[in-house]
Structure 1
Amino acid sequence: VLREGWYFLLPLAALVYSLFGLNYEPEMAGLVATAIVLALGVLVPFRGKRIGFRDLAVMLRDAGIAVLDLFMLGAAAGIMIGALNYSGVGFTLTLVLILLAGGSLVALLVLSAAANIILGLGLPTVGVYIVLATLVAPALVKMGIAPMAAHMFIMYYGCLSMISPPVAIAAFVAANLAGADPNRTGWVAMAFGWTLFVIPFLFVFSGTLLLKGDPLSIAVDLSLAVAGVWFISAAMMSYAARPLGFAARVCHGVAGLCLFMPANAFGAERWINAAGVGLAVALFVREKAVRRRAVAAGG
């Protein structure tokens, strides 16, 4: 499909460029991408077929049906947000979170994460974001967190109820389809999705993961984060290129944590990342040596 229809990636590129290169509003950027999609469909044949006027009518009808639920959800959420603002619940929750945190940013993030998961139980993504952006995000912004990082934090944690027992709707549906135990499936889903519980904190402490900063810092921090995910996952699963013993699991876990640690979190400096890189290289060299000895013994 991509070999024949590679040009359909152009609307996505136009959307990203309009948002981040031209600083268009999301509505305008979406309109530009939609116009490019329609133009390509009409002017460029795909597998010998162009989009006709009848096809356009069907597409518009289907799009209207698809967004109808979103409109209804947005209207209901708007009524709820108005009621919350009028009653002062939003301000009260913001004040309570800040008071309970006692001025500690980490404590505020942990409390906000718990509140996000509870408030997001069973809600669709759009509804989750609208509710949390009204109730929880203001507390994070008041503590000095960048608005983009604050909203990404609430967005991630608001959706984690999908794989977090006791609700874990997505995991329970998957368990029902597979005929598996729902509770075990929920906990396994949490284990596989552990990065989703950690990455929002990195958004707050390391803006480079949100592509803010110079290109070199962004590349370095993204590489360290990916490597950290790999080493921590290996420690959790007790397997890298081969089964890991207890000592190897601990070393992989420590290396992953050091790689994962944002340079400006908890007073940490780059030397912690450097220690993680050194330990990761040592583990890699040791693994190569073990493989070499195994091949020599087998040969």
Structure 2
Amino acid sequence: MTARNFLTFDMILRLFQIVLSFVYVGFLLRQFWQPVAPLAAASFHVYMAVALVFAFNPLNWEGAAKRLLGRAIDLSAVVLSLAIVWLYMGEIRRLERRFEMIDPVFALDIFLHVTGLVLIFEAVRRSVGWSLLSVVLIFLAYGYFGYIFPGWMAFPGFSLATNAELITMQTEGIFGITASAAINFVFFFVLFGAVFTFTGGGALFIDLAMRMTARLKGGAAKMSLVGSALFGMVSGSAIANTTSTGVLTIPIMTRSGYTKDQAAATEAIASTGGQLMPPIMGVAAFVMADMLGIPYATIAAAGLIPALAFYFALFVIVDLRARKYGVGNVAPELLNIPPVLPRVHLLLAPVVMIVTLIVGYSAAYAALAGTAAALVVPMLRKSTRYSLRGLFDCVLDTARQMAWISAPLAAVGVVMVIATQSNLALKFVRLLSDIGSGNLYLSLVLVIFGCIIMGMGLPTVAAYIIGSLVFVPALMELGIDRLAANLFVLYYCVLSMVTPPVALCSYAASAIARSDASKTGLLAFGYSLVIFLVPFGFINDPHILWQGTALEIGIGAGGMLLATFAWAVFLMGWMKGNLGYIERALFLTCSLALVLLPTLSPGWGLSLAGIGVLLLWRLILRDRLALART
């Protein structure tokens, strides 16, 4: 009888997975052609996503009785989430017409607020763990009991009814920017990534990376970098990037001389950088577009040069490490790469998406165009045709990915509304101004520490949203452009994926490599030092964010790449031999000067010449001088 109950519960959960996935994906697709009102769309989206989290990630308690209880809780949570969707649909007209803080808050509104938040919080715990949930609960407690907090943080606090109005009864809070970004941007790119991967595009990217880098020095690690950068173009998830590319690249790296910790750390930082790679740039960039009210294509263009500089610096470090220690060279017998040419037409799908973005169509339209191409193009050749039955799993995968993204995003909406309505963000601006004393670089360093500390326990998108609320206004007070300030915060929040103790990418890579998770996390964070220089570059030179004439952008990009090259040489301490302390200091000085001094200023030009002299000395003159002495 017990076994039958398990079977029945599991079958019901599976049925919920299938039905809810198709309804949810169908609704989000319909939003593109026949959108419903924002509050109706957001409430349906949030609680359908929550229901899907419970359906896809059931409790796995050991023991017959506990397992039976767990399934009962799972099914109850799914049904209750769907009931909340139904209740919101019934009340939507009243909620849309009511006047905030004037019309009464009914008992039903309180029920929806309390029950809905409990379900969202449990969905967050199941999808990303306690790290984000702890932060959200602290902010929620602050919203109720702000008067018990010390000093500048203190404020009177909100009543239960006021919190309900702010968080769950209007297009703010859980139904605010995070929900609209998920509906209008994130879904379409998640759909594209799922379809493109299903039809063979993801495997093609990895195979291309292997073909391009296998014969290079340190080819094992370089294929990880190239593969992760390419995969990052079509996937907004660093974890998905790690698991998709890491299962192939990590074993090759370990067989070519890297330790398990080094291989896992290299894959972790390479996949983390995928969140910075246009055109998708992870979920945070979609939220940024919605918050700033600017076209997503503008953000994607702004992110291109910094992302290339990041991967270029990583590429240089991998190359220098391979030459210094003689590791990473790939033996031909380790590779069994299927022919790429018969599949090259699959690249038309991302090309269609990128071109559609460039010519001025919306991000959602571009992603849909790319998805259509990803479905049609593989059918043009017999060798790449797919079974239509596979699309069934593709829909489920899209719904599952969206649920895992949307539940945490909804919870972050609580943080956003409490931080703004309590004036916490404004208070922090004043505090940072007092501590930084108006000094730009001191304030930037304080923001960096804040982003890294906050990112230790949060997914990238959560860390960015909170950082944008707390840090961006302070940076704008110092005269930094709004887009540059947001990207500055995003870059350091990206490090949350490799920052211990909660380094999700590092842990995912460690699980594949079977390495020590703590050592892997620390190594990956050490490798992430290559990113530290890049944001200072676009703070000082807006041309790096694709602003200005082609000549100005080209000069800015060239200076940025050369600065990151010198920075990588400094970090590695090797260039055709170990660097002396003076040489290393000179590389560091020239690198910092290229980034911090105005482009084309005399000091900038002197730094450029200095790097040229250092390279000439290390690569040619030093050996010739040594030969002449002998």
TM-score after normalising by structure 1: 0.82
Deviation string for 1:151-209 (max 9, x for gaps)?
A: 111111112234445655555776785655936x5554444322212212222111122
* 1:277 aligned onto 2:608: yes
Greater C-alpha Rg: 2
Match in the other structure for 1:182: 518
Structure-2 separation of matches of 1:200 and 1:246: 26
Match in the other structure for 2:295: none
Change over 3 Å in CA distance of 1:77–1:257 after alignment to 2:
closer
Match in the other structure for 2:446: 111
Name stretches of at least 5 consecutive residues in structure 2 with no aligned partner: 1-203, 205-339
* 1:12 aligned onto 2:350: yes
Q: Kindly report which structure 2 residues correspond to 1:185-200, keeping only aligned pairs within 5 A, or say none.
A: 188-200=523-535
Change over 3 Å in CA distance of 1:52–1:129 after alignment to 2:
same
Structure-2 separation of matches of 1:134 and 1:9: 38
Match in the other structure for 2:621: 289
Checking the alignment, whether the CA contact within 8 Å between 1:255 and 1:277 is kept in structure 2 is yes
Change over 3 Å in CA distance of 1:89–1:258 after alignment to 2:
closer
2:375 to 21, 38, 42: 38
Match in the other structure for 2:547: 212
Change over 3 Å in CA distance of 1:19–1:92 after alignment to 2:
farther
Change over 3 Å in CA distance of 1:15–1:103 after alignment to 2:
farther
Q: Kindly report which structure 2 residues correspond to 1:147-296, keeping only aligned pairs within 5 A, or say none.
A: 147-164=482-499, 170-171=505-506, 179=515, 182=518, 188-263=523-598, 270-286=601-617, 287-292=619-624
Structure-2 separation of matches of 1:196 and 1:111: 16
Checking the alignment, whether the CA contact within 8 Å between 2:536 and 2:595 is kept in structure 1 is no
Structure-2 separation of matches of 1:140 and 1:132: 11
Match in the other structure for 1:27: 364
1:3 to 331, 341, 364: 341
Change over 3 Å in CA distance of 1:168–1:197 after alignment to 2:
farther
Checking the alignment, whether the CA contact within 8 Å between 1:202 and 1:262 is kept in structure 2 is no
Deviation string for 1:107-160 (max 9, x for gaps)?
A: 332222222222222211222222223332233234432222111111111122
1:92 to 427, 450, 454: 427
Shift of 1:37: 1.6
* Matched residue count: 290
Change over 3 Å in CA distance of 1:297–1:175 after alignment to 2:
farther
Name stretches of at least 5 consecutive residues in structure 1 with no aligned partner: none
Change over 3 Å in CA distance of 1:68–1:143 after alignment to 2:
same
Structure-2 separation of matches of 1:61 and 1:173: 22
Change over 3 Å in CA distance of 1:36–1:95 after alignment to 2:
farther
* 1:70 aligned onto 2:405: yes
Checking the alignment, whether the CA contact within 8 Å between 2:484 and 2:539 is kept in structure 1 is yes
Q: Which amino acid in structure 2 is aligned with residue 33 of structure 1?
A: G
Change over 3 Å in CA distance of 1:66–1:169 after alignment to 2:
closer
Structure-2 separation of matches of 1:182 and 1:114: 21
Structure-2 separation of matches of 1:46 and 1:210: 42
Change over 3 Å in CA distance of 1:20–1:98 after alignment to 2:
farther
* 1:137 aligned onto 2:468: no
Change over 3 Å in CA distance of 1:52–1:30 after alignment to 2:
same
Match in the other structure for 2:481: 146
Change over 3 Å in CA distance of 1:224–1:182 after alignment to 2:
same
Change over 3 Å in CA distance of 1:95–1:254 after alignment to 2:
closer
TM-score after normalising by structure 2: 0.42
Checking the alignment, whether the CA contact within 8 Å between 1:122 and 1:162 is kept in structure 2 is no
Q: Which amino acid in structure 2 is aligned with residue 245 of structure 1?
A: G
Checking the alignment, whether the CA contact within 8 Å between 1:195 and 1:229 is kept in structure 2 is yes
Deviation string for 1:194-227 (max 9, x for gaps)?
A: 2212212222111122222222222222222222
Change over 3 Å in CA distance of 1:215–1:173 after alignment to 2:
same
Q: Which amino acid in structure 2 is aligned with residue 27 of structure 1?
A: A
Q: Which amino acid in structure 2 is aligned with residue 21 of structure 1?
A: V
Taking only the aligned residue pairs, the percentage that are identical comes to 25
Structure-2 separation of matches of 1:21 and 1:253: 40
Q: Which amino acid in structure 1 is aligned with residue 612 of structure 2?
A: V
* Structure 1 vs Structure 2 CA RMSD: 3.0
Match in the other structure for 2:455: 120
Deviation string for 1:28-74 (max 9, x for gaps)?
A: 33222222222223x42362x42343232221222111211112122
Change over 3 Å in CA distance of 1:216–1:159 after alignment to 2:
same
Q: Which amino acid in structure 2 is aligned with residue 71 of structure 1?
A: S
Change over 3 Å in CA distance of 1:39–1:144 after alignment to 2:
farther
Structure-1 separation of matches of 2:622 and 2:493: 44
Shift of 1:239: 0.9
Change over 3 Å in CA distance of 1:235–1:126 after alignment to 2:
closer
Checking the alignment, whether the CA contact within 8 Å between 1:4 and 1:46 is kept in structure 2 is no
Query: Comparing both chains, which one has the higher relative contact order based on Cα–Cα distances under 8 Å and sequence gaps of 6 or more?
Result: 2
Structure-2 separation of matches of 1:99 and 1:28: 45
Checking the alignment, whether the CA contact within 8 Å between 1:228 and 1:260 is kept in structure 2 is yes
- Larger CA deviation: 225-234 vs 67-76: 225-234
